[in-house]
Amino acid sequence: MMGKFEAQIPGDRLYARNHMWFQADGDAFRVGFTSYSVRLLQDVYFLDWAIDQQSAVQEKGEIGEIESSKALSTLYSPCAGQIVAFNETLLDDPSKINTDNYGEGWLFRMQTEANMLTPDDYLKLLDEGWDETQRLIKGQLN
Amino acid sequence: MAAKKLTVVISQGQGNNPAKRQLEEDILTELVLEPKIDVSVVPHLYDMSKDHTGLLFLRSVVGDIIFLSWLYPRGAHWILDRQGVKGHEGETLLKSESDEELEDDIPSLDEDEKQYPNAIGTPEVPNRKIYSLDLRDHSGPQVYVAEILRIADEQSVETVSLGGFDLGSPAAPPTNGQTENGNIGHEPIADQPADANRLAIKEATKRRWYPVIDYSRCTNCMECIDFCLFGVYGVDGLDRILVEEQDSCKKGCPACSRVCPENAIIFPGHKTPAVAGAPGEVAGMKIDLSKLFGAPSAIELAAQERDVELEADGRETVGMSVGIPKRQSGHQSEEKDEMDTLMDSLDSLDF
């Protein structure tokens, strides 16, 4: 829950602490934003990646940038691994992030050995993290 | 005889931000009927390939150009220079709303020459001016349109006062359609009826990433060519540094720009203003959700940077395992609030 709003967290995939979902797809995972992220971002206008495909990434390494109606943020890798491909169609039109964030709005494919959160763990993280998120947002209003 | 027109080029922003598109269109609409102005729209300057129609058009313009883009003027000027659209930096009176106090730092060519006495400069700059305006400076079209018309007026005044001895501007009144500079200019386009669609060049672009060199600062010290291990830099026949293999550049890597002692290397797409060619730090207009998406702390970042250097030296990386100070993070709790109230309250704020 974020305040009184329920976040839709599908049970058929795993999650990372930085609000991305992981779904097994061949030899890699498909990765995208959870509804929680999308809810905070709102309309996405622009997405750009700061690294090339096939790059090895560290956890919390910078991988890109996103601009939306509500926010401007750097994007960071959810875990260590290798990003094998980006969803190229989002570069021209990122609107699928809003309309289909668990499907065609996927962000990239990634190979990783990292441990992920189960849907239940992620929901718990959201519950615990909501106060922190509000502090983060409100802290920037002053 | 029709007076020579001033060429205005609007370079579109990346992405689909409706506010940006609106500003571009509003400026276009205002200018399209101006008798003194020829206005065109091209894709984002940095994304156009060397033989893109938009760049071919820009190279074909002989007289002065006013170039509007979502880039810092210095970034835009030196991308144009790299792409063969050369000219002297035109001085604009347009100042950013947020950094008027920094206006002394906004480099005009003259100031740059004083600040960077050892700069190697650009050879063979044609005798015309390129005015670069930053579309992020103001939210409405009026300021831009007013400035464009001011520059257009200034040109006609200059032309009159200098008469036949106009040395400064190739936009001098055409004598039989051709000036002594060999300037044929824009007459073929000038008398056609205004048509916004005709003025837009829409060929597709791809995201790109490469450095551009500000030769008004570069001293040819060669630190960049020594530092970059990917063969991006080279030298020309006069041993002047140049970006030789721009596609060898590693996407997102601005390291050579940080190495450059004169801050002469610009990555126009980098989010750090100083790297992107800004005159000074520019305040962000939006909230930063970086922490939410996993931004590293200063210490984590320092450890990452150290690892990169260690790896480059062929040594083992150490991550956070060595020499990391232990610090307490003091958290304060705050009252809960509802999502929509919170997010919507952002809109009512006057930034």
Cα atoms in the 13 Å half-sphere on the side-chain side of B328? 3
Q: Which helix or strand (DSSP H or E) is residue B306 part of? A: helix B298-312
pLDDT at position B191, please? 40
Q: Is the pLDDT of residue B88 over 90?
A: yes
In whole angstroms, give the CA distance from residue A136 to residue B332: 11
The band of B318, judged by pLDDT with boundaries at 50, 70 and 90, is: low
- Give the CA diameter of chain A: 47
Q: What is the CATH number of the domain that holds B307?
A: 3.30.70.20
Is B249 among the domain residues?
yes
pLDDT at position B175, please? 39
In this structure, are B36 and B74 located in the same domain?
yes
The pTM (predicted TM-score) of the whole model is: 0.73
Q: Is the pLDDT of residue B65 over 80?
A: yes
Is B177 among the domain residues?
yes
pLDDT at position B132, please? 96
Is B170 among the domain residues?
yes
How, if at all, do strands B212-213 and B265-266 pair? Answer: antiparallel
In whole angstroms, give the CA distance from residue A57 to residue B303: 14
pLDDT at position B260, please? 83
Tokens representing A21? 């979902």
The band of B172, judged by pLDDT with boundaries at 50, 70 and 90, is: very low
B174 vs B250: which has the higher pLDDT: B250
CB distance B287–A75 less than 8 Å?
A: no
Tokens representing B209? 């990433």
CB distance B336–A51 less than 8 Å?
A: no
In this structure, are B161 and B226 located in the same domain?
no
Tell me the residues of chain B between 191 and 210 that have a Cβ less than 8 Å away from chain A: 207
Q: Helix, strand, or coil here: B234?
A: strand
What's the structural domain count of chain B? 2
Closest-CA residue to B134 (of B23, B30, B258): B23
How, if at all, do strands B6-11 and B37-42 pair? Answer: parallel
**pLDDT averaged over every residue in chain A:** 90
B172 vs B160: which has the higher pLDDT: B160
Q: What is the CATH number of the domain that holds B186?
A: 3.40.50
Q: Is the pLDDT of residue A26 over 90?
A: yes
Cα atoms in the 13 Å half-sphere on the side-chain side of B203? 12
pLDDT, tens digit, 9 for 90 and up, residues B49-63: 999 999 999 999 999
Mean pLDDT of the B74-101 span: 85
State the complex-level ipTM.
0.78
In this structure, are B237 and B267 located in the same domain?
yes
Cα B281 to chain centroid distance, Å, stands at: 15
In this structure, are B171 and B231 located in the same domain?
no
Is B238 among the domain residues?
yes
Q: Is the pLDDT of residue B187 over 60?
A: no
The band of A68, judged by pLDDT with boundaries at 50, 70 and 90, is: very high
**Locus of tokens 């509500």:** A70
pLDDT at position B314, please? 67
In this structure, are B165 and B289 located in the same domain?
no
Q: Is the pLDDT of residue B182 over 60?
A: no
B195, burial (CB in 10 Å: exposed 0-12, middle 13-18, buried 19+): exposed
Residue B289 is nearest to which of A48, A71, A130, comparing CB atoms?
A71
CB distance A60–B296 less than 8 Å?
A: yes
State which residues form the domain around B312. Answer: 212-324
B295 vs A99: which has the higher pLDDT: A99
The band of B337, judged by pLDDT with boundaries at 50, 70 and 90, is: low
Q: Is the pLDDT of residue B95 over 80?
A: no
Quick one: angle between helices A119-139 and B339-347, nearest 10?
40
Closest-CA residue to B288 (of A46, A37, A125, A136): A136
pLDDT at position B213, please? 96
pLDDT at position B329, please? 42
Strand partners, A14: A22
Residue A19 is nearest to which of B292, B295, B332, comparing CB atoms?
B292
Q: Is the pLDDT of residue A130 over 90?
A: no
Q: Which helix or strand (DSSP H or E) is residue B8 part of? A: strand B6-11
If you ran DSSP here, which 8-state letter would residue B163 be given? G
Tokens representing A78? 């959810």
CB distance B343–A70 less than 8 Å?
A: yes
- CB of B64 within 8 A of CB of B198? no
- Which range has the worst mean pLDDT, A125-134, B67-76, B189-198, B238-247? B189-198
Is B99 among the domain residues?
no
Q: Distance, in angstroms, between A45 CA and closest chain B CA?
A: 5
B26 vs B158: which has the higher pLDDT: B26
Alpha helices in B46-100 (DSSP H): 53-60, 73-82
B174 vs B215: which has the higher pLDDT: B215
- Which range has the worst mean pLDDT, A55-64, A120-129, B98-107? B98-107
In this structure, are B290 and B258 located in the same domain?
yes
In whole angstroms, give the CA distance from residue B246 to residue B270: 16
In this structure, are B320 and B255 located in the same domain?
yes
Is B131 among the domain residues?
yes
CB distance B289–A40 less than 8 Å?
A: yes
Order the strands of the A62-68 sheet from edge to edge: A44-49, A62-68, A71-76, B287-288
Is B340 among the domain residues?
no
Tell me the one-letter amino acid at A104: E
The band of A140, judged by pLDDT with boundaries at 50, 70 and 90, is: confident
Nearest chain A residue to B345 by CA: give it: A141
Quick one: angle between helices B18-32 and B141-162, nearest 10?
40
Cα B65 to chain centroid distance, Å, stands at: 14
CB distance B343–A49 less than 8 Å?
A: no
pLDDT at position B275, please? 85
Mean pLDDT of the A65-74 span: 90
In whole angstroms, give the CA distance from residue B214 to residue B96: 21
In this structure, are B305 and B176 located in the same domain?
no
In this structure, are B294 and B225 located in the same domain?
yes
Q: Is the pLDDT of residue B223 over 70?
A: yes
pLDDT at position B302, please? 56
Q: Is the pLDDT of residue B100 over 50?
A: yes
In this structure, are B176 and B299 located in the same domain?
no
**pLDDT averaged over every residue in chain B:** 76
Residue B15 is nearest to which of A40, A46, A61, comparing CB atoms?
A46
Mean pLDDT of the A27-55 span: 93
Q: Is the pLDDT of residue B298 over 60?
A: no
